[in-house]
Amino acid sequence: MEQNNTSLQVKKARWVGALFLSAFLLYGIGRNLFESELFNQKCIGAALIITNSIVVIFIGFFLRKTIIQYNLWAGNAYLFSRVIEAIGLVIIVLNLASSISFSLDFGYFVAMLSLGIGSIPMCYIFFKHNVLPKWLAIWGLIGYTFLALGFLMELFGKEWSMYLLILGGLWELTFSIWLIIKAGTIKTN
């Protein structure tokens, strides 16, 4: 029975890794298409952005299940931050309605700030309880702190986010690949 449970955990970890990677692609391609002048491309971009927001919520839901094994508050905060991120990213789709106009960047800034703030406790829990290798958990703590700081500064008109999001963005790519490749080594209770 434990073998089946471990196999299921490995599959879930790999799915979470794949979801992280797909979120990068869905939002990146979707945002690029959404900013097109062609209505058809805008609609495809909107569909990709909406799909990305759904994926982001699933990431929050699945990782919450792991985080709450160690800290309920951190798990709930992580899921909440992912929901705020999803809303912030999808809000630009409302620009398809001609009577509504949202800044293309404001929702993104709020989404990334929420992601950064909500992910710091997750990385701390992963560090404290050896869920991830120490180097990966520390990298996540530092990366998400800089990411949150960068997007907080954006909200105050300081254009630093592109410099400060690099560590967090690279961490997410590394973490997702690590989940896919090393999923069987994740510590669970």
Query: pLDDT of 163-182, one tens digit each?
Result: 888 999 999 999 999 999 98
Task: Please tell me the distance from the alpha carbon of residue 67 to that of residue 89, in angstroms, as a whole number.
Answer: 24
Question: In the predicted model, is pLDDT for residue 189 greater than 70?
Answer: no
Residue 4 has pLDDT above 70, yes or no: no
Length of the chain: 189
Selected residue with higher pLDDT from 136 and 162: 136
Structure tokens at 55: 């994926």
Token pair listed for 149: 């700081």
Distance, in Å, from the CA atom of 176 to the CA atom of 173, rounded to the nearest integer, reads 5
Q: How far apart, in whole angstroms, are the C-alpha atoms of residue 59 and residue 28?
A: 17
Do residues 87 and 114 touch, judged by C-beta distance below 8 A? no
pLDDT of residue 1 exceeding 80, the answer is no
